[in-house]
Amino acid sequence: MKPQSPLQPTILVGITHSQTCLVLSARLRALRQAGFRVLLLSSPGKLLDRTAANEGVEPIAFPMRREISPFADLMALARLWRLLGRLHPDLVEFSTPKAGLLGLLAAWMRGIPRRVYILRGLRLETASGFKHRLLLTAERIASACAHSVLCTSESLRNEAIALGIAPANKLLLLGQGSSQGVDTLRFSPGPSDVRDRLAIPATDPVIGFVGRLTRDKGLPELLRAFDRILRVIPAARLLLVGWFDVAEDALDADLRVLIEHHSRIICTGFVPDAAPYYRAMDLMVLPSWREGFPNAVLEAGATGIPVVTTQSTGARDSVLPEVTGLLIPPGYPEAIVESVLKLLRDPERRDRMGRAARSWIVENFQQERVLGLTANYYSSLFAVAPTAQLQHA
């Protein structure tokens, strides 16, 4: 560990799995450039090491299980308590369910003076019965241990209020939402060699998807819808830019086999830069059941393509209905079919929506603006005495 400057506050950013590092790079860089010493904690993995090295922050490999495991979780809580006692961070920011619960509980027990929970979504929305109650309790405990809960979208904040996760004055939304915004220079309209590399004819309509290939992202519905779309437009292609996640909402084996062997579906696996893949699409579909604020929709819109997504929490904040994209109910393949065919048959409308999407995103979600709000908020916490923060919480 590097020695801490007495004038440089330390922020510890904690997540459960190193996979989440994929959406943290710009955030870590912004905090470091704002004058903070940044520590990044997650389960061990190449993404942790690479992200920390690229962004000039200090990695902490800390094993945690994503699934519920009472004994392992208690051991992790004890180790986190000891770790925080050794590091003495001035501020902790935890996100994702397991790290949020254990990290903020340990930070509360240690009396860390500034504790922030980033609510990136609600996994409980696709759970039921005992598991739903358990996840709700975990969210309430994590939020109770935090001084503030930063929500990534307005609908997520409203849902958290409705569920009683925290008082409304503790649930904050910075700007228009989003955890990191979008790099509108990197994600912009322009040429792409993806169609040539993937042997997709210029005349074939390409329906895109970007993200984890899981049930909660709506992949089963998208696959059923694509089968019906092919009956109307046999030349259509489905371009899946993402990987088969082994999380609790992993796809069934038969759907994975279907994707891997379908003659009109191209699955890229993980790609380090999705920008040229968006440019190869005619439109993108995100039929998700739950979101915080989907980065992929911002990236697609900034690239100038319309998006079909759902009315689920978080997703509905990412488009202006009928202006930058279309909103449909989650879980209805027929709604995907209708919306996709409507846009594929109307190139002028697609172009108009794509231009509107880019303008809206440039105005509201540029990365510098979104992360500037975060850095300014964290800086403001150091202008208030910790005891005053505790009284406010």
- Most distant pair of Cα atoms in the chain: their distance: 66
Residue 6 has pLDDT above 90, yes or no: no
Structural domain total, the chain: 2
pLDDT digits (tens, 9 = 90+) for 320-351: 999 999 999 999 999 999 999 999 999 999 99
In this structure, are 139 and 241 located in the same domain? Answer: no
CA distances, 202 to each of 206, 236, 284, 307 (Å): 9, 11, 17, 20
Q: Which two tokens stand for residue 101?
A: 């619960």
CATH number of the domain residue 200 falls in? 3.40.50.2000
Same-domain check for residues 151 and 281? no
pLDDT at 390 over 60: no
Residue 3 in domain: no
Same domain for 315 and 373?
A: no
> How sure is the predictor about 386, in pLDDT bands with cuts at 50, 70 and 90?
very low
Is-contact 139 97, C-beta < 8 A?
A: yes
| Cβ count within 10 A of residue 36 | 23
Q: Is the domain of 87 the same as that of 27?
A: yes
pLDDT confidence band for 65 (50 / 70 / 90): confident
pLDDT at 5: 52
268 Cβ partners below 8 Å, 6+ apart? Answer: 239, 240, 241, 242, 277
End-to-end CA distance of the chain: 31
> Does residue 33 carry a pLDDT above 60?
yes
Query: Does any domain span residue 212?
Result: yes
Residue 82 belongs to some domain of the structure: yes
- Which pLDDT band holds residue 384 (cuts at 50, 70, 90)? low
Same domain for 239 and 278?
yes
My answer on whether 129 and 153 are in the same domain is yes
Q: Write down the mean pLDDT value for the chain.
A: 94
For 292, phi then psi, to 5°, come to -100, -65
Mark whether 126 and 96 lie in a shared domain.
yes
Identify the pLDDT of residue 71. 87
pLDDT tens column, 270-279: 999 999 999 9
Same domain, 317 and 295: yes
DSSP single-letter state for residue 330 = T
Q: What pLDDT is recorded for position 393?
A: 43
Are 17 and 155 in the same domain?
yes
Q: Is residue 185 part of a domain?
A: no
Residue type, 139: E
Question: Helices 70-87 and 97-110, interaxial angle, to 10°?
Answer: 50
Q: Is the pLDDT of residue 149 over 70?
A: yes
Look at residue 243 and tell me whether its pLDDT is greater than 80. yes
Q: Kindly state the tokens that stand for 1.
A: 């560990």
Q: 372 and 322, same structural domain?
A: no
Q: What percentage of the chain exceeds 90 in pLDDT?
A: 92
Q: So what's the pLDDT on residue 137?
A: 96
Domain that holds residue 14: 10-180+367-392
Query: pLDDT over 70 for what percent of the chain?
Result: 96
pLDDT score of 224 more than 90: yes
Tell me the per-residue pLDDT of 9-21, one tens digit each, with 9 for 90 and over: 999 999 999 999 9
Whether 287 and 373 share a structural domain: no
135 in any annotated domain: yes
Which band of pLDDT confidence, cut at 50, 70 and 90, is reported for residue 66?
confident
The answer as to whether 26 is a domain residue is yes
pLDDT of residue 196: 97
Q: Looking at the domain assignment, is residue 324 inside a domain?
A: yes
Does 317 lie in the same domain as 383?
Answer: no
- Which long-range CB contacts under 8 A does 59-66 form with residues at least 24 apart? 60/12, 62/14, 64/16, 64/17, 64/98, 64/99, 64/102, 65/98, 66/16, 66/17, 66/98, 66/247, 66/248
Average pLDDT over residues 216-225: 98
> Is the pLDDT score of 4 beyond 60?
no
Per-residue model confidence (pLDDT) at position 388: 44
Instruction: Note the pLDDT of residue 389.
Output: 45
Is 186 domain-assigned? no
297-309 confidence digits (pLDDT tens):
999 999 999 999 9
What value does the mean pLDDT take over residues 43-61?
A: 96
By the 8 A CB rule, do 314 and 294 touch?
A: yes
Helices (H) and strands (E) in the chain, counts: 15, 13
Helix (H) or strand (E) holding 82: helix 70-87
For 191-200, write each residue's pLDDT tens digit.
999 999 999 9
pTM of the complete model = 0.92
